[in-house]
Amino acid sequence: MSAKATLIDTTKQDKAAVLELIAGMAKARYEKNARAIAAPYATDAAIYNLAPPLVHHGIDLAETQAWLDTWDGPITIEPRGVEVTIAGDTAFAYGYMRMTGRKKGADRDVDFWMRETLCLARNREGWRIVHEHTSVPFYMDASTRPAFDLEPESRGR
């Protein structure tokens, strides 16, 4: 096998591993398993998610479990259109995530799309998330309300 073919096979395997990691995170959220949610993150990962403050460093298990406990039943976070780029021991993944579920005491389900970017680094243990950025667009009018009504465009996927 040529060096080029080996590199292509390795890149395919790495992309599959990153996509498997993302699928595992979705499963962990659905099962409301804080430890499994935290497992793929580096201990000092820079996390820019929807919850304050502006940045979190690593996953706080107690905080994550407290958030999971605010949901009545499972939480579904479905990835769509995730693109993965591999460069040596660094990976970059981006796409959409659809979040559905019901908060305790709510009279209707949560259902919205968000954007997510992950930066990963490979170490002896495998791929670890070192940076996460999740966002929801907002309307640029005076309301500054979140654009929870948007859905990703279909690009033939």
Mind listing the pLDDT tens digit for each residue in 131-145?
999 999 999 998 889
Name the least confident of 24-33, 40-49, 138-147.
138-147
As a whole number of angstroms, the distance between CA 73 and CA 61 comes to: 19
Q: Which domains does the chain have, with CATH numbers?
A: 3-135 (3.10.450.50)
pTM beyond cutoff 0.75: yes
